Amino acid sequence: MFRGGTAEDFQALARITAQALGVFDRLINELIAAEAKIDSLTIKQFEKSAKSGHIERIEELQPKARYFRLWASYYRCLTLEPGSVSLVAPLKEIVDYLNEESKLTTIEHRNSHYQAQSLLLAGMAYRLLGSSDRAEDYLFKAGTVVAAIPDFMERHDLKWVTLFSALERVKNFRDRGQYEMAVRTLDEFQSQLPVNSPDQFSLHFALALLKGTVYRAHALALPSDASAERSQLLLTSRQALIDLAREHPRYQDEIYATLFGLLGDVEDLLQGGNSLQSLENAIFVK
């Protein structure tokens, strides 16, 4: 899970996704070359390769490599400027492949075992493309597909799809300007999680960051003459992280470092520039 955060976090993600895309591109090219060689085999050589399972492995690996490359491409898109024209081509590639070429979003999960994940990925791509209605449809369906899986272990293994679809729906509501719905959906999801569980800290951290983005987006959308309400929303945007630091003392340094990195953006909204010096930032956070 990429939980967002500071500019350094996005820079790290850009480096990782660039490396991943390079690896997948090389793998796909090698698989295409290997597939081309099959056409030149003699009948005897073909039968030998088929018996060894070599041909079957190539045929299975190529669509899997393309599928996982789409995930790397999606995360690469998160590092680009929202609304950038550079986003359109890779995002359209994702939805076109999942909907049309592979049909992974429509082949029933019991047959493909990839429908839920593909619905999630397509829904996330649609959100970044600004197609909020289609995003909501796909994200909601991803969660329902997981819930309907009869096998307990598979359903358990795909809990991350349920999590991601819930978080992406919150982002979609936020992007639509439905801020109350976004907060309510997030609170409902969080109420189902274990309280103060150490192994759930990363998730609670992600939820706190996400809630902050909802309040900040709401503040930014207010008219210029609503300065009092804007200030209150910006203060509220920090509160989830501050509360989390109090609930998880062992992670306070990490939380404060993240909050410290976000304060400049908040003050930019209020002052038209970053008016807090480092010492004042630290004092405020503590």
∠ CA 146-27-157, rounded to 5°: 20
| Tens-digit pLDDT profile for residues 232-246 | 898 888 887 777 777
| Tens-digit pLDDT profile for residues 207-239 | 888 898 899 999 999 998 888 898 889 888 888
| Rounded Cα distance, 118 and 135, in Å | 12
Pick from 119, 148, 146, 145: nearest CA to 134: 119
Res. 175: pLDDT tops 70? yes
Res. 189: pLDDT tops 90? no
Query: Which position has the higher pLDDT, 265 or 127?
Result: 127
Res. 286: pLDDT tops 60? no
Band the pLDDT of 162: cuts 50, 70, 90: very high
For residue 58, what pLDDT is reported? 86
144-161 as b/e: b if 16+ CB within 10 A: ebbeebeeeeebeebeeb
Cα-Cα end-to-end distance for the chain: 27
- Tell me the average pLDDT across 72-80: 94
The token pair that represents 90 in the structure block? 């890779």
- Give the range among 67-71, 217-221, 250-254 with minimum mean pLDDT: 250-254
For residue 74, what pLDDT is reported? 96
For residue 270, what pLDDT is reported? 45
**% of the chain beyond a pLDDT of 70:** 82
Cα–Cα distances in angstroms (integers) from residue 122 to residues 67, 162, 210, 267, in the given order: 12, 14, 20, 35
Pick from 182, 170, 25, 2: nearest CA to 79: 2
Res. 122: pLDDT tops 50? yes
* Contact present, 87 and 77 (Cβ < 8 Å): yes
| Tens-digit pLDDT profile for residues 81-102 | 887 888 999 999 999 999 999 9
* Contact present, 36 and 74 (Cβ < 8 Å): no
For residue 236, what pLDDT is reported? 86
* Contact present, 258 and 209 (Cβ < 8 Å): yes
